[in-house]
């Protein structure tokens, strides 16, 4: 236990040096591009307000040294996102970056799980096998597969050349294998989000390309989902004894009604958060081993996150942080909705990944975590850039 606490407070010196070098190089690159920070802040007010409030909250943190390290990672991920988005063709840059990562990551995950199991397979505290691939946990592998699945579907809908189309299909089959591990290896959250994301993405292909009409389209879709849930619940009540649709859904996915202990954890976190409801305990100052709470004594699996991004924002940044984050979500959705006019294909991808990340954070945490890939994806699709730079690329851009 003591070694674990030290690792949380001191971290890895090598990782710290690597992160610092990349962030420094990123800032230098933006300076060479004559990046306009004033314009970036004005175009992304809610995001920068949230980031700098997180910095301010470190002043009342009990662990300021750890918190500032984590905030630097948070700011560094923002720098990297601006590097991708500040080029002349950000859509091509995003697509190329994701493709390059997934083309390398996914096959190596497969090889490590299948043939180099001492590195690609891990075990939990109870000795249950879980597939990790190149990542550190099954849930992280699930996040990679979830994002990759939507990317390859997006690329298929762009009607690429036959060779690229075949590669996309092959990779989708590999993702099915990686996400269908034995028992505990399945990340139910990632699988559910990908399934829902596919439905949303295909549904959006029939959406109107006018932002105002699109809002009505979403309202109709939300109403349809609501009525499906209501009638499904009524049907379940007719054939079962006072069971909810949630309980049935959890059982079908191999989980219990507590979401594998998450609901008990949320209750304990909210009790702790009620001590500082307005401002929180300070950014990056709650999940530091068991130093600031006794959750590890009650929860044997030693949680290192709240498994709910919204609760984690609340416990660290309080109601003020939640308000700023809500403003970021609403402004981001409005911006993404308007981007459909400039580039319908990319706008559909943006909205879908945005919704998937929002849902994913209901049982996992990626919000405001600079080292998590889903937070970087969130930045890529929510940072506001000039609409003109989102115009569709030339027809022969696949050959570049």
Residue 384 DSSP code = -
Q: Which two tokens stand for residue 389?
A: 């730079």
Q: 365 near 312, Cβ under 8 Å?
A: yes
Torsion of CA 313, 317, 322, 324, to 10 degrees: -120
Cα(400)–Cα(93) distance, integer angstroms: 11
pLDDT, residue 9, reads 65
Task: Please provide the average confidence, as pLDDT, over all residues in the chain.
Answer: 84
Residues 245-270: tens digit of each pLDDT: 445 454 555 555 556 667 888 888 99
Q: Is residue 232 very low, low, confident or very high in pLDDT (cuts 50, 70, 90)? A: low
Q: How many angstroms from the chain centroid is the CA of residue 266?
A: 19
Q: Is residue 238 very low, low, confident or very high in pLDDT (cuts 50, 70, 90)? A: low
Q: How many angstroms from the chain centroid is the CA of residue 237?
A: 34
pLDDT, residue 153, reads 95
Q: 279 near 317, Cβ under 8 Å?
A: yes
pLDDT, residue 210, reads 75
pLDDT, residue 288, reads 85
> 92: alpha, beta or left, given left = phi > 0 and alpha = psi -120 to 50?
alpha
Average pLDDT over residues 99-123: 92
Q: Give the CA radius of gyration of the chain.
A: 22
- Proportion of the chain above pLDDT 70, given as a percent: 82
Residue 188 sits at the vertex; the CA angle it makes with 187 and 190, to the nearest 5 degrees, is 70
Cα(147)–Cα(108) distance, integer angstroms: 16
Average pLDDT over residues 53-67: 93
């Amino acid at each position: 236990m003591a070694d674990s606490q030290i690792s949380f407070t001191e971290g890895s010196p090598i990782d710290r040096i690597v992160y610092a070098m990349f962030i420094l190089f990123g800032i230098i690159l933006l300076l060479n591009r004559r990046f306009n920070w004033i314009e970036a802040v004005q175009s992304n007010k809610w995001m920068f307000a949230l980031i700098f409030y997180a910095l301010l909250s470190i002043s009342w943190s009990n662990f300021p040294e750890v918190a500032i390290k984590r905030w630097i990672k948070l700011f560094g991920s923002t720098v990297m996102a601006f590097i991708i988005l500040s080029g002349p063709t950000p859509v091509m840059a995003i697509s190329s970056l994701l493709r390059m990562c997934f083309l390398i990551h996914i096959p190596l995950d497969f090889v490590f799980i299948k043939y180099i199991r001492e590195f690609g397979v891990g075990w939990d505290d109870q000795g249950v096998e879980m597939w990790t691939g190149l990542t550190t946990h099954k849930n992280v592998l699930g996040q990679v597969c979830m994002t990759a699945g939507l990317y390859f579907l997006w690329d298929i809908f762009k009607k690429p050349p036959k060779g690229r189309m075949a590669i996309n299909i092959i990779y989708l089959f590999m993702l099915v294998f990686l996400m269908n591990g034995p028992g505990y290896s399945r990340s139910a959250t990632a699988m559910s989000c990908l399934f829902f994301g596919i439905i949303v993405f295909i549904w959006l292909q029939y959406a109107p390309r006018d932002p105002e009409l699109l809002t009505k389209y979403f309202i109709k879709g939300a109403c349809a989902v609501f009525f499906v849930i209501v009638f499904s619940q009524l049907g379940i009540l007719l054939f079962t004894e006072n069971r909810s649709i949630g309980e049935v859904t959890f059982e079908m996915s191999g989980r219990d009604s507590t979401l594998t202990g998450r609901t008990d954890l949320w209750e304990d976190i909210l009790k702790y958060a009620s001590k500082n409801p307005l401002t929180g305990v300070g950014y990056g100052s709650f999940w530091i081993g068991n130093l600031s709470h006794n959750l590890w004594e009650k929860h044997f699996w030693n949680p290192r996150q709240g498994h709910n991004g919204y609760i984690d924002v609340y416990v660290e940044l309080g109601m003020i942080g939640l308000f700023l984050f809500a403003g970021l979500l609403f402004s981001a959705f409005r911006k993404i909705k308007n981007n459909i006019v400039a580039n319908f294909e990319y706008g559909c991808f943006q909205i879908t990944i945005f919704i998937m990340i929002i849902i994913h954070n209901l049982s996992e945490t990626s919000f405001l975590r600079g080292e998590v890939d889903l937070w970087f994806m969130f930045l890529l699709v929510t940072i506001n850039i000039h609409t003109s730079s989102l115009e569709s690329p030339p027809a022969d851009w696949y050959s570049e």
